[in-house]
């Protein structure tokens, strides 16, 4: 079945550091890929998405590129802020109707001033 693997946290960074969270997936066909973010005490929010190979999703300074050849969708941000402290979830959904999201285990990121 479909699965998503992402690096375990916590990831602790200083403000303005470069952030990378690795995500790889296993799926049949060509799924859509997502990053969700969960800030402390809040629900999940869609951060960015990519629906086909080589697409780049971007939002709030975060980027991720859909790499079919490596089945990856790594999340990056060039200069993190304290407000980026959150749990980040990588997820996939098959293209077929009736699909559902399969999530990775989440990566907690803590940015220190």
Partner 1 sequence: GAGVSQSPSNKVTEKGKDVELRCDPISGHTALYWYRQSLGQGLEFLIYFQGNSAPDKSGLPSDRFSAERTGGSVSTLTIQRTQQEDSAVYLCASSLGQGGFDGYTFGSGTRLTVV
**Applying CB under 8 A, does 102 fall inside the site for partner 1?**
yes
**Of 17, 59, 63, 103, which lies in the binding site for partner 1, with binding defined by CB under 8 A?**
103
**Closest CB 14 distance from partner 1, rounded Å:** 25
**Applying CB under 8 A, does 40 fall inside the site for partner 1?**
no
Can you give the three-state secondary structure of the chain, one letter per residue?
CCEEEECCCCEEEECCCCEEECEEEECCCCCEEEEEEECCCCCEEEEEEECCCCCEEEECCEEEECECCCCECCEEECCCCHHHCEEEEEEEECCCCCCCCEECCCEEEEEEC
**Of 28, 69, 70, 100, which lies in the binding site for partner 1, with binding defined by CB under 8 A?**
100
Nearer to partner 1, 61 or 105 (CB): 105
Question: Where along the sequence are the contacts to partner 1 (CB under 8 A)?
Answer: 31-32, 34, 36, 42-46, 49, 51, 89, 93-106
């Amino acid at each position: 079945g479909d699965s998503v693997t992402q690096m375990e946290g916590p990831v602790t960074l200083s403000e303005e550091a470069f952030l990378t969270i690795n995500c790889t997936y296993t799926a049949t066909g060509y799924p859509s890929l997502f990053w969700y973010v969960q800030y402390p005490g809040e629900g999940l929010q869609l951060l960015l998405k990519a629906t086909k190979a080589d697409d780049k999703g971007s939002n709030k300074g975060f980027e991720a590129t859909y790499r079919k050849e490596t089945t990856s969708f790594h999340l990056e941000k060039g200069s993190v802020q304290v407000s980026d402290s959150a749990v980040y979830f990588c997820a996939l959904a098959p293209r077929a109707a009736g699909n559902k999201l399969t999530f990775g285990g989440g990566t907690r990121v803590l940015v220190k001033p």
